[in-house]
Structure 1
Amino acid sequence: MSETATTFRLERPREGVVVLTLDRPGRGNAMTAAMFAELEATARRLDREPGLRVLVLTGAGSTFCAGYDLADAERLPELGALGMLDLQESAARALAGIRGVRVPVIAAVNGAAAGGGLALALAADIRLASPRAKFVPSFVTIGLSAGDLGTSWLLPRLIGPAAAAEFLYSARTMGAEEAERTGLVNQVVGEDELLDAALEMAAQIRANSPGGVQLSKRALQANMEASSYAAALELENRGQALLTRTDDMTEALTAFREKRAPVFGGR
């Protein structure tokens, strides 16, 4: 799999774990049209990678992601309505691609996550933050809507509709401690330990059956949109029935009887 990109780098610190580091530190890891295209293409490739178990997102330097690069934003009026729609849809596909990767995605938020950077953090399944992390819904401060890149759908489901409304309308900055208290992030860890904590969490996830984790993610995401309890149960039933046919389920039961750790093969 080609891993060449100009706006981020990919590393594999442990088997089955990929770390995607946004790598434009001189611009606060701000987003560009090139980044959207590369994120979308990379998400598709990673989703097809058989051995992938966890994806970790973080930012180079002192910022997670400053949102859309304002240097590029100066050219937006030149695009016209359809050109702007193409760019917006490219950005949406990129973040939907990251969120849709079949394995868990952990965001290690090492600094400011503003605008589209906030949306990218929200697209992860789990968020860890350093004490200097801050979340800035800057959309309305530059004349845009906070209904951007999934923010208006994901944020209320994490912190509640009223809290999301106050946060988005005021465009105030939320620090790491408040983010942990409200449920926006799972945990705040020391700055020097952030990536290690994300990798440790990845290791805990990786110790479990690949199929079980992947179908758990599918159920959690799908049932956020389920129309009823009955629809949620139907999806869960199909997933469980499928997993009982796997070699990993047999291995898990055998290991339990033999009082040893299971060795999962993802089959």
Structure 2
Amino acid sequence: MTSHPDLTSGPVLTRREGDILFVTLNRPDQLNAMDNALVETLRQLFLDLYWRRDVRVVVLTGAGRAFCAGLDLKSFNAGGSNGSTADGLDGQRRIADIVIAMRRCPQPIIALVNGPASGGGFAVVLASDVRLATPTAKMNAAFIRIGLSACDIGVSYFLPRMVGSSVAAEYMLTGRFFTPERAAQLGLVSAVLDPSDLEARGRALAEEMLHASPLGLRLTKDALNHSIDAGGLEAVIAMEDRNQVLTARDVHFAEGVRAFLEKRKPDYS
């Protein structure tokens, strides 16, 4: 098995605790804004997760008082006046690859939104599977406030599906911030928590997900992804039928049943 040492320095930190990988954006003095190094590290991390079996759940947060302030405009040219159109498109796609890789990786991603999440940071929050927030976790599609379109890095895909087209249009056309209370009301975040409780709640949620079998957890995320855009009920049920047959024949199914009947945590080792 390929070794995956934790990242203990640099723009992204990782810490593996059993089957859970804790990922921290680590530019606190810049509110974890995305420079080239952060983009490339985060992009590669999520690309690699597709092949990893030693990680079953990811918990993602930001260091310091912010989740991610978006693109670091002082250090990253994403296609403005300083480069060719082709270079700009390459840079844009490297950032967009992060959210595509987040949705493609089979591990559920729990975002602990510990502070502001704007622009690209907002996109990363939306690309996560579950979002827990603190009272300082305001979020917005900041792109439109600096002369760009608000439709960037998957925001125009995720947000209408989560909050409806009217609310999405309201916030994207203005760049207005979602307050934590409004985000919770709309179901954009699952809970608003005291900062001191955020990591513990994220860890507890991750541990609860680990009661699922490895294959069952992966196929559930996969089916949820595809069901959003499925052609209809029958297409979704066909996918669900396939997943149930696959998991019922998996080596871990019997242990899942035993653990349920014995009222204990399953051991899938």
TM range (shorter): over 0.9
Q: 2:75 aligns with which of 47, 72, 78?
A: 72
State the distance in 2 between where 1:78 and 1:166 align.
Answer: 32
The 8 Å contact of residues 127 and 185 in structure 1, kept in 2 or not, is answered as: yes
The 8 Å contact of residues 243 and 249 in structure 1, kept in 2 or not, is answered as: yes
Q: 2:21 aligns with which of 18, 26, 38?
A: 18
Q: 1:32 aligns with which of 32, 35, 56?
A: 35
State the distance in 2 between where 1:90 and 1:195 align.
Answer: 29
In the TM superposition, residue 262 of structure 1 has moved relative to its aligned partner by 5.2
Is 2:73 the partner of 1:104? no
Instruction: Return 122-131 or 50-59, whichever deviates more.
Output: 50-59
Is 2:61 the partner of 1:58? yes
The 8 Å contact of residues 108 and 221 in structure 2, kept in 1 or not, is answered as: yes
In the TM superposition, residue 51 of structure 1 has moved relative to its aligned partner by 2.2
State the distance in 2 between where 1:23 and 1:256 align.
Answer: 39
State the distance in 2 between where 1:244 and 1:44 align.
Answer: 28
SS where residue 185 of structure 1 aligns? coil
State the distance in 2 between where 1:186 and 1:256 align.
Answer: 26
1:179-218 matches, cutoff 5 A:
179-218=183-222
SS where residue 264 of structure 2 aligns? coil
- Structure 1 counterpart of 2:150, which letter? A
State the distance in 2 between where 1:165 and 1:97 align.
Answer: 26
State the distance in 2 between where 1:214 and 1:178 align.
Answer: 31
What is the TM-score with the length of structure 2 in the denominator?
0.93
In the TM superposition, residue 191 of structure 1 has moved relative to its aligned partner by 1.1
State the distance in 2 between where 1:53 and 1:192 align.
Answer: 25
In the TM superposition, residue 253 of structure 1 has moved relative to its aligned partner by 2.7
C-alpha RMSD of the superposition: 1.6
Instruction: Return 228-237 or 16-25, whichever deviates more.
Output: 228-237
In the TM superposition, residue 260 of structure 1 has moved relative to its aligned partner by 4.0
SS where residue 42 of structure 2 aligns? helix
1:48-197 matches, cutoff 5 A:
48-73=51-76, 76-197=80-201
SS where residue 64 of structure 2 aligns? coil
In the TM superposition, residue 84 of structure 1 has moved relative to its aligned partner by 0.3
In the TM superposition, residue 264 of structure 1 has moved relative to its aligned partner by 3.7
State the distance in 1 between where 2:23 and 2:259 align.
Answer: 34
Gaps of 5+ in 1: none
State the distance in 2 between where 1:101 and 1:67 align.
Answer: 22
Gaps of 5+ in 2: none
- Structure 1 counterpart of 2:66, which letter? T
The 8 Å contact of residues 43 and 97 in structure 2, kept in 1 or not, is answered as: yes
- Structure 2 counterpart of 1:237, which letter? D
State the distance in 2 between where 1:28 and 1:249 align.
Answer: 44
**Aligned residues between the structures:** 264
State the distance in 1 between where 2:198 and 2:137 align.
Answer: 11
Instruction: Return 172-181 or 102-111, whichever deviates more.
Output: 172-181
The 8 Å contact of residues 208 and 264 in structure 1, kept in 2 or not, is answered as: no
After TM superposition, which residue ranges in structure 1, 4 or more long, deviate above 4 angstroms?
A: none
- Structure 1 counterpart of 2:219, which letter? L
Partner deviation per Cα, 1:124-158 (whole Å, 9 max, x = no partner): 00000011110122111111111111100000111
The 8 Å contact of residues 6 and 15 in structure 2, kept in 1 or not, is answered as: no
